[in-house]
Amino acid sequence: MSEGLSEIILGLEGVGHSYDGQTEVVSSFSLGVGAGEIVCLLGPSGCGKSTVLRLAAGLEPLQKGRIKLRGETIAEGESRISEPPERRNVGLVFQDFALFPHLTVARNVAFGLSGLADDQRSQRVQEALSQVGMGAYLGAYPHALSGGQQQRVALARALAPRPSVMLLDEPFSGLDARLREQIRDDTLRVLKRSGAATLLVTHDPEEAMFMADRIYLMQAGRLIQSGPPAEVYARPNSEFAAKFFSNINELEGIVQDGAVATPLGPIPASGWTAGSRVKVLFRPECLDCVPANGNLNGAAGRAILPATVTEVRFIGVARLLRVLATPAGGPALDLQVRTGGAFAPEVGAKVGLSLDPAQAFVFGPG
């Protein structure tokens, strides 16, 4: 879902923040989250993701810019208007779950449900817990639950007041890898069913790609790129964006006649002036690896670069190879290949490499 297609529920406009009054840790940051949409704020640790989320929640006073809920300004830096967190109709989930240890699961979930009659409140608690598969744990205390179960209760507690906005800060980081996948999957479904506009903070690109309708990639307090996961992955707008999502291979070359000549064939570089020194980046899975048979013309007439496998790592769904190529007249190339096919070369095997030029990215020397 993109902006314009659905009503923007949460809007941030030109938001900036400094903790010490000198250095801005978030600068001129804007985003919009539509109803039923999941937006992931992604970036390296310390880039300002949690600060954006805390500003949206009202946990930090807004210094610059504006925050809107359904088009209405709820916080404004200049005029120092700020609705307190409890008036913002947001549900919050944090990495450490933040459940009250002395309250049962039911009372934890009931905590944010003021203003309802007792029977209505009990019904809402039961509903919220059933939604996350924890309907049988009403009387349990948090310490008796696994990490995954605590996370589910935290999600139920945040959803019980039926907020129009859900804000989640690294909600899966405290869980071990196997459980994390399951809980992510379940959480995605529950959030989508709730219809809330969701902003989720994560430093993990795979998590962002799995969860998000749109990703906002941040670096040093600024927005670098936003868009649907497949688009940000396939068309990164910068070297930083390209490198954030996966390991990457890197070649250098000079632009001539709208292309860069590389040992893997010419890579289109329209928009670059002749003579520019550029970097060509491509992901390990974009390199085709075939048995070497001496044929130097691969599919679609592409150049095939002979190489030797120097390392093989098996990771279940794929093999990660390192290969060494020694093109005539150029430096040796140490490249990474990710291959999921039946071809499983051993260390020392001679292979041929080819690259679809459309899957390579050209950037300046940086």
What is the binding site for ligand ADP (CB under 6 A)?
Answer: 19, 25, 43, 45-51
- Residue 364 · residue 279 · CB < 8 Å: yes
Q: How far is the CB of 317 from ligand ADP (least distance, A)?
A: 29
Using CA of residue 302, residue 305, residue 311, residue 312, what is the dihedral sign? Answer: positive
Q: How far is the CB of 163 from ligand ADP (least distance, A)?
A: 21
Q: How far is the CB of 191 from ligand ADP (least distance, A)?
A: 20
Q: How far is CA 105 from CA 102, 120, 149, 160, 276, in A?
A: 10, 17, 10, 13, 62
Backbone angles phi and psi of 73, in degrees to 5: -70, 125
Contacts of 213 (CB under 8 A, 6+ apart): 1, 37, 38, 39, 228
Residue with Cβ nearer ligand ADP (24 or 288): 24
CB atoms within 10 A of CB 88: 22
64: left (phi over 0), alpha (psi -120 to 50) or beta: beta
Residue with Cβ nearer ligand ADP (52 or 355): 52
Q: How far is the CB of 49 from ligand ADP (least distance, A)?
A: 4
Residue with Cβ nearer ligand ADP (27 or 262): 27
* Tokens linked to 222: 């600024």
- DSSP single-letter state for residue 275: T
Q: How far is the CB of 78 from ligand ADP (least distance, A)?
A: 22
- DSSP single-letter state for residue 139: T
Contacts of 86 (CB under 8 A, 6+ apart): none
The closest of 291, 288, 285, 267 to 344, measured between CA atoms, is 291
Q: How far is the CB of 51 from ligand ADP (least distance, A)?
A: 3
Return d(Cα 206, Cα 335) in angstroms, integer. Answer: 22
Q: How far is the CB of 46 from ligand ADP (least distance, A)?
A: 4
Strand 333-339 versus strand 8-18 pairing type = unpaired
Element (H, E) at 71: none
The closest of 238, 267, 269 to 366, measured between CA atoms, is 238
Q: How far is the CB of 157 from ligand ADP (least distance, A)?
A: 22
Residue with Cβ nearer ligand ADP (168 or 337): 168
Helices (H), 195-286: 205-211, 229-234, 239-245
Residue with Cβ nearer ligand ADP (217 or 278): 217
Residue with Cβ nearer ligand ADP (1 or 25): 25
Q: How far is the CB of 307 from ligand ADP (least distance, A)?
A: 38
Residue with Cβ nearer ligand ADP (50 or 225): 50
Return d(Cα 44, Cα 46) in angstroms, integer. Answer: 6
Residue with Cβ nearer ligand ADP (22 or 293): 22
Residue with Cβ nearer ligand ADP (15 or 260): 15
